[in-house]
Amino acid sequence: MLMLQSICASTFAQSSVTIYGSVDNGISYINNVGGKSVVKMQDGINKANALGFTGTEDLGGGLHSVFKLENGFSLNSGAMGQGLIFGKQAYVGLGKAGIGDVYLGRQYDYTLQLERYMVPYLNTGIMLFQNADLDRASGERLNNAVQFNSASFGGLSFGAMYAFGQNAGASSTNVGRAYSANLQYTYGPFMAGLVVTDINKVQIQAGATGAPELLGRSLTPTTVLLVDNQRILGAAGMYTFGNWRASAIYTNTRLELNGQSATDQVVHLGGDYFPLPDVDLSAHVAYDKLESSHWYSLNLAAAYLLSKRTSVYLELAGQKAGGANGTVASIAAMGPSSTDKQFVSRVGLRYFF
């Protein structure tokens, strides 16, 4: 019995499971959604609400196993995000020190890596992303995915993933096969990255773009299209100097449907500054061009860190649309305006655990 207890204690000492997550809530004012101003409580805008479990076990000889289960939810209603118990991520994997890790399950494609370069202005929240998230930079999942992430070799790392299309179901953003890859490089205060994602048969929230038409279809605010192919290329760089951080990101998204194609290009520029250790000021500008429609966006944010886990913040967002007749402003997650302009202000509270 004593030997068994000793063995069990040794085993558990080599394993760890962590519970983590984030909660965010606040009040938003939107000057124009479908022709009316709106004041409402919104959660998960500055930071997506999440509850996750992650664990690792040392298997000896440099080998380790790992798992992650993470769900999203609404703080205001208690409803599950993505309609699934673990809608954000659910995978298991094995890794080898000095080589890398292989994961199997529901995972983010590598366009999420672009968020690493948005850190200087992520305090401006989900409103900084492309109107309909056509470039998937805010984080989208693939079902039935196999992913490999390398170790760092002199600051250089890479990853590749493939998602099988069969039985992908309505819960996935890939009805068909998908692949994604990334290359990252870090040297002191500088970091840069490249990503590519290619998906067959994928749903896009076309009506949220604010464009009057896309791929030969007239759009309403609720239009969803199942496109034949979505191909995304992204490049980014970030530099940190003292209390300042700045980054630049470019994405190019090509959509195909029934022989027609459309291209969306987005440029993000921005940064942040810490005038005090507990005060973070952020600014972000973006230009988005989808065929003959375009949008200019400006996002500003100020966050006060009450502790390492708790922050209060103020977000401001403005957008001006132009180009094709009928193009309207449509700040991400807010809903299309009835005009070419839209403004959002928001105050909120977030907590990490």
Residue 294 exposed, middle or buried by CB count within 10 Å (0-12, 13-18, 19+): middle
Task: For residue 216, tell me if it sits in a domain.
Answer: yes
Q: Rounded to an integer, what distance in angstroms lies between the CA atom of residue 163 and that of residue 176?
A: 8
Reported as a pLDDT band with limits 50, 70 and 90, residue 70 is very high
User: If you average pLDDT over residues 190-202, what whole number do you get?
Assistant: 97
pLDDT greater than 70 at residue 300: yes
- Each residue of 250-283: b (16+ CB within 10 Å) or e? bbebbbebeeeebebbbebebbbeeeeeeebbbb
Tens-digit pLDDT profile for residues 13-60:
478 999 999 999 999 999 999 999 999 999 999 999 999 999 999 999
Place 266 in a pLDDT band, splitting at 50, 70 and 90: very high
Q: What is the mean pLDDT of the chain?
A: 94
Q: What is the per-residue pLDDT for 96?
A: 98
Q: Is residue 1 part of a domain?
A: no
What are residue 291's DSSP bridge partners? none
Residue 309 in this model has a pLDDT that exceeds 70: yes
Distance CA 233, CA 150 (A): 20
Residue 3 maps to a domain:
no
Q: Measured between alpha carbons, how far is residue 223 from residues 116, 208, 218, 220, 306 in Å?
A: 30, 8, 9, 5, 41
CA 224/CA 235 separation, integer angstroms: 27
Does residue 140 surpass a pLDDT of 60? yes
Asked if the model's pLDDT at residue 11 lies above 70, the reply is: no
In a domain, 22, yes or no: no
> Residue 171: what pLDDT?
54
Report the pLDDT value the prediction gives residue 9, as an integer from 0 to 100.
42
Element holding 3 (H helix, E strand): helix 2-13
The CATH number for 255's domain is 2.40.160.10
Query: Is residue 100 predicted with pLDDT exceeding 80?
Result: yes
pLDDT surpasses 70 at 79: yes
Pair 301, 345: CB distance under 8 Å: no
First to last CA, the chain: 38
- Closest residue by Cα to residue 48 from 68, 28, 29, 72: 72
Whether residue 16 lies inside any domain: the answer is no
pLDDT score recorded for residue 2: 36
Mean pLDDT score, 103-132 = 96
Q: What is the largest CA-CA distance in the chain?
A: 79
Q: In this structure, is residue 21 part of a structural domain? A: no
**Closest to 312 measured CA to CA, from 55, 17, 24:** 24
| 175 found inside a domain | yes
Q: Residue with structure tokens 């819960």?
A: 171
CA angle 212, 217, 223 (to 5 degrees): 75
Q: Tell which residue, 231, 294, 222, has the closest CA to residue 261.
A: 231
Residue-level pLDDT at 274: 96
pLDDT digits (tens, 9 = 90+) for 217-227: 999 999 999 99
Q: Please give the model's pTM, rounded to 2 decimal places.
A: 0.92
What single string gives the DSSP state of each residue in 191-248? EEEEEEEEEEEEEE-GGGG--SEETTEE--TT--EEEEEEEEEEEEEEEEETTEEEEE
Q: Alpha helix locations (H) across the chain?
A: 2-13
Asked whether residue 10 is assigned to any structural domain, the reply reads: no
- The arithmetic mean of pLDDT across residues 320-328, rounded, is 98
Phi, psi of 74 (to 5 degrees): -95, 125
What's residue 169's pLDDT? 53
The total domain count for the chain is 1
Cβ–Cβ under 8 Å, residues 115 and 122: yes
**Percent of the residues in the chain that have a pLDDT greater than 90, as a whole number:** 91
Taking the CB of residue 114, how many other CB atoms lie within 10 A of it?
26
Residue appearing with tokens 């002191």: 188
**Domain span at 301:** 29-352
Quote the CA–CA distance of 28 and 207 in Å, as a whole number. 22
Positive or negative: CA dihedral 268, 152, 69, 180: positive
Which of the pair, 329 or 2, is modelled with greater confidence?
A: 329
Give the rounded distance of the alpha carbon of 265 from its chain centre.
17
CB 118 within 8 A of CB 129: no
Report the pLDDT value the prediction gives residue 170, as an integer from 0 to 100: 56
User: At which residue do the structure tokens 């048969």 appear?
Assistant: 201
pLDDT at 172: 63
The whole-number pLDDT of residue 82 equals: 86
Query: pLDDT at position 5, please?
Result: 38
